[in-house]
Structures are given as C-alpha cells and as structure tokens.
Amino acid sequence: MFRNNNILWLILLTGSLLAACGSTKTAPADRAEAEAGGDSSRIVQIALDQLGQLYTVNERNEILQYRADGSAGFRYNNNTLGRLGILDPTNPFAMLAYYPDFQTIILLDRTLNEQSRIALSTLGLIDIELVALGNDNFIWLYDAVDVQLKKLDREGNISFRSDRLNQLLQRIPRPDQLLALNTRLFLNDPELGILVFDQFGRYETTLPVLQAESLQLVNEDQLVYMQDGRVYSYDLRAFEASPVDLEIPCAQDCQLRIGKEKIYWLEKDRVQQRILRISP
C-alpha cells in the first residue's frame, strides 16, 4: 500500500484520503532558505500548528509565530525558567510550553499570552522530560520514576495514571518523544519502537520502528518520521511504513515539519522551507 509516493504525498498534504488518478503528482514550486524573520539568534526548535502556522524557538527561549502566509505573528519570551525544552502548538488556540530545568508547564492562548502555569515539583513529580497537550486540553506526561503515563487537568490535578510500562513491556522504556492527537498517544523509544496508547492511556501496541526521529502526526491515520536521514510515512490503519521522497537535503539530525502546503526543516541553526503545489 502507498507504493506511489506522489499519491502518498497528496494524502499527506490534504490530511485525508483522496481519489487520485495515476497522473496526479506534486511538484516543488518554490524553495526558500532563510533564518525565520531574519532574527540573528540561533534557532533550536521548530513546530507547526493545525492551521499551518510556523513557530520557532531561538536560543534566547523566544517563541516566534509566523502565519501561513509567512508574515510575522505573535511572540512570547520567558527567561526565568531556563531552557524551553518542548513547544506543543498543535492546537493553535491552546499551546503548551515546557521548561524542564524548572519542571514548569506554561499554557498559552492563540496570541501567545500566558494563561496559566503548572509547577510539576509541587505535585510530587520529578525529572519529567516529556509532555504533550491532548485535544481535550488535558496534559499528558511521561513519569520515568514511576514508569507511567499520567494525565493532568489545567489546574495540575492528576486525573489518570497508566499501568507501569516496565511491567507491560518487561523492560524499562527510555522514550525521547511524546505525541498526542485525537484518540491516540505515541511514545517513541528508539530501542523499543513507537508505543501506541488509546485516549485513556491504555497500551495498545508497539510499532516496529526503531531509531525514529522527528515524529509528527499529519492526521489521525498518518505518522511521519525520519529514520537514517530518510522520511517515512506510517499508515496506522494498514500498519505499513513507506518511504517518502521529499527531495530535501535534510540530514539525520535535522527537525522536519510537514504542513498542508509547505515543508519546513531545521538543519543546524537554519530554518528552510519548500512550497509544494499539486499540479495536474
């Protein structure tokens, strides 16, 4: 399934399965390379929301928003909590910023104004590295001490704890990325694979994908990731992985984000983009 990369790329762009004839293809219409907004600070992280807006995080911990048309949007900066480790703007109306040095989560609105913050240390949680914001605006995190997924409400109350994953898997996972979208959670362990949980945090299966990097959920049924410097799409209905030829010079350690009309990648400290159009 999905042996035709042109058809697969069309699926990724639209976020849904379309009927496409064999002549349907995509073609790069433009390529731009620039540090976003011309800011001289080194960019260390990029993210996309569901509206196609780009967010960059620079070494000064400043979040910069760029609208889908490329124009500059809002910005947020906090220099009192150490490094900004995770930015999750999947929902453009309720975003999460996590500062692991101070174990603090900040929730932002669509204009990047701070709405609330949660100090995890006050909840008895320590050494939390992975967090994600669910569609219900509850917060998921991985607690490596208890080897559990935990769910918090916006006030910081723990509403759910998963089973201990070391008991389920017969080994201690060492994940490096947590994603939440609609009815699923994904916990990526480079040595074990991609662990899949339902919306209630119940373990479902492990996708046999090792050493995956830069995971992104394009839609509920398509997971995109990098492996050994190549881009792959995993069909979550057919449980099949297919390589995707994006023809971009993205090295093994670069961050990749795919939108409906553009691809962005961060290599070293530069954001690059390619605009794609579907041509008949």
The set of residues, in sequence order, having a beta carbon less than 8 Å from that of 152 and lying 6+ positions away, is 118, 123, 138, 139, 140, 141, 158, 159
Long-range CB pairs of 108-117, under 8 A, 24+ apart, other chains included: 108/76, 111/74, 112/63, 112/65, 112/74, 112/75, 112/76, 113/76, 114/76, 116/154, 116/155
Task: Give the torsion sign (CA, 40, 45, 50, 52).
Answer: positive
Whole-number Å distance between alpha carbons of 103 and 174? 19
Residues 6+ apart with CB under 8 A from 167: none
Q: Are 158 and 152 in contact (CB under 8 A)?
A: yes
CATH architecture of the region 5-279: 6 Propeller (2.120)
For the segment 103-116, the average pLDDT, to the nearest whole number, is 96
The reported pTM is 0.83
Q: How far apart are CA 240 and CA 2, in angstroms?
A: 9
Which CA distances in Å does 215 have to 2, 60, 201, 224?
A: 19, 25, 19, 6
Q: Is the pLDDT of residue 37 over 70?
A: no
DSSP state, residue 37: G
pLDDT at 165: 96
Quote the CA–CA distance of 147 and 267 in Å, as a whole number: 32
pLDDT tens figures, 146-205? 999 999 998 889 999 999 999 999 999 999 999 998 889 999 999 999 999 998 899 999
Domain ranges of the chain: 5-279
Mark out the alpha helices in the chain (DSSP H runs).
5-14, 165-169
Residues 240-244 have a mean pLDDT of: 93
Q: Write down the pLDDT at residue 31.
A: 31
Q: Looking at residue 251, what is its pLDDT? A: 64
Which pLDDT belongs to residue 229?
82
Residue type, 165: L
Q: What number is the average pLDDT over the span 53-61?
A: 95
DSSP letter (8 states) at residue 268: T
